[in-house]
């Protein structure tokens, strides 16, 4: 019985060795584990904070910023659209940006 038991153990050891040689061990890359994957959550949260800060602006300030920065219109085009002089558009955008910067900084974002 003893020779048979040694033969079985020998065969198991050889099978285990061959199995490890047929398929290399899987090793994780430690550098890959520390990399973060951009998931867009920061962008969504920042956008939500900006929307909240925009809601605090006066309606005429918000409209000027929307036309100038989001719609991509010029000062002259915005003035014609709103029916005000171009100087008024510039003044409203200046004070709107200051108020927006103050609102973002009070919410923990730097608007630099």
* Residue 7 belongs to some domain of the structure: no
Model pLDDT, residue 25: 67
Q: What is the DSSP secondary structure assignment for residue 23, as one 8-state letter? A: S
* Residue 25 belongs to some domain of the structure: no
Model pLDDT, residue 17: 84
* Residue 62 belongs to some domain of the structure: yes
* Residue 74 belongs to some domain of the structure: yes
The CATH number for 73's domain is 1.10.10.10
* Cβ-contact 61, 95 below 8 angstroms: yes
Q: Total domain count for the chain? A: 1
Exposed / middle / buried, residue 96 (Cβ in 10 Å: 0-12, 13-18, 19+)? buried
Model pLDDT, residue 92: 95
Which residues are CB-contacts of 87 (< 8 A; sequence separation ≥ 6)? Answer: none
* Residue 78 belongs to some domain of the structure: yes
pTM > 0.75: no
How would you write the pLDDT of the chain (112 residues) with one tens digit per residue?
888 888 888 989 888 888 877 776 667 776 766 767 777 888 898 889 989 999 999 999 999 999 999 899 999 999 999 999 999 999 999 999 999 999 999 988 875 5
Chain position carrying tokens 């040694």: 6
Whole-number Å distance between alpha carbons of 99 and 78: 20
* Residue 45 belongs to some domain of the structure: yes
The full length of the chain comes to 112
State the residue range of the domain holding 82. Answer: 41-106
* Residue 36 belongs to some domain of the structure: no
* Cβ-contact 62, 100 below 8 angstroms: no
* Cβ-contact 41, 56 below 8 angstroms: no
* Residue 80 belongs to some domain of the structure: yes
């Amino acid at each position: 019985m003893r020779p048979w038991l040694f033969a079985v153990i020998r065969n198991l050891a050889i099978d285990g060795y061959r199995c490890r040689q047929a398929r290399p061990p899987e090793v994780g890359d430690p550098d890959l584990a520390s990399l973060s994957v951009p998931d867009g959550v920061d962008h969504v949260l920042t956008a939500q904070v900006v929307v909240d800060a925009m809601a605090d602006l006066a309606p005429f300030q918000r409209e000027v910023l929307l036309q100038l920065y989001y719609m991509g219109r010029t000062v002259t085009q915005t003035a014609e659209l709103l029916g005000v002089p171009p100087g008024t558009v510039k003044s409203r955008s200046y004070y709107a940006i200051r108020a927006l910067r103050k609102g973002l900084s009070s919410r923990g974002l730097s608007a630099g």
